[in-house]
Amino acid sequence: MKNAKPTADAARDHSPGAHHEHGTAHVHSHTDDAHANHAHTHGTPASAEAALALAEEYCRERGEKLTPIRRKVLELLLTSGRATKAYSLLDDMRQIHPGSAPPTVYRALDFLLSAGLVHKIESINAFAVCHDLTQCQHGILVVCQQCGNVTELHQPALREALVAQIENAGYRLAGDGIELKGLCSACQAAPATGS
């Protein structure tokens, strides 16, 4: 079991479209969406910097280090605002560090996953920043199959009920993640490409 991460509002501002409902529901979208009335400003460099500082502090408390490469991969995920494939991250890293190789990015992603700072989105083989760098609790991920938008739903009672139904059916989850596939509101609203 992981130690609880320090709480700070700055982490919730780390990505476009973050949204916090009061109570047990916590929804976070990894792309810009219809959360215009939310009080926080998202996607600004200050928000990414605040999230990175929080991640560094959290790693220090765990006795680990957010090395410059790990930090840069996390920053790229924060600024992308959506689930991103490892090779896209590698391409971005090569723009900054031309000699970057796949193992460099994969090792950084492995660390970020083990620290609970990012999620691996199995259904699209991509990575996204945890909804809240301070309290990664493995919610239910809803993944847009068209654009890669990822929304985290944090409703513990719903998750517990779903896990109970899965176990009653004779299954055991292979990991902490629960992913649902869908089509986000932006993709639903986009005009259909002609056939």
In a domain, 1, yes or no: no
User: Which residues are CB-neighbours of 122 under 8 A, at least 6 positions away?
Assistant: 177, 179
Query: What's residue 46's pLDDT?
Result: 57
Phi, psi (degrees; rounded to nearest 5) at 131 = -55, -30
- List, for residues 32-76, the tens digit of each pLDDT value: 333 322 222 233 345 888 889 999 998 999 899 999 999 999 999
CATH code assigned at 72: 1.10.10.10
In a domain, 171, yes or no: yes
> With contact defined as beta carbons under 8 Å apart, do 90 and 102 qualify?
yes
Asked if pLDDT for residue 108 goes beyond 90, the answer is yes
Question: In the chain, what percentage of residues exceed pLDDT 70?
Answer: 70
In a domain, 195, yes or no: no
Asked if pLDDT for residue 27 goes beyond 70, the answer is no
Query: By residue range, what is the domain housing residue 76?
Result: 9-189
How many structural domains is the chain composed of? 1
- Nearest-angstrom CA–CA distance, 13 and 17: 9
In a domain, 4, yes or no: no
Of 14 and 57, the one with more pLDDT? 57
Closest to 119 (Cα-Cα) out of 144, 102, 136? 136
Query: What's residue 45's pLDDT?
Result: 47
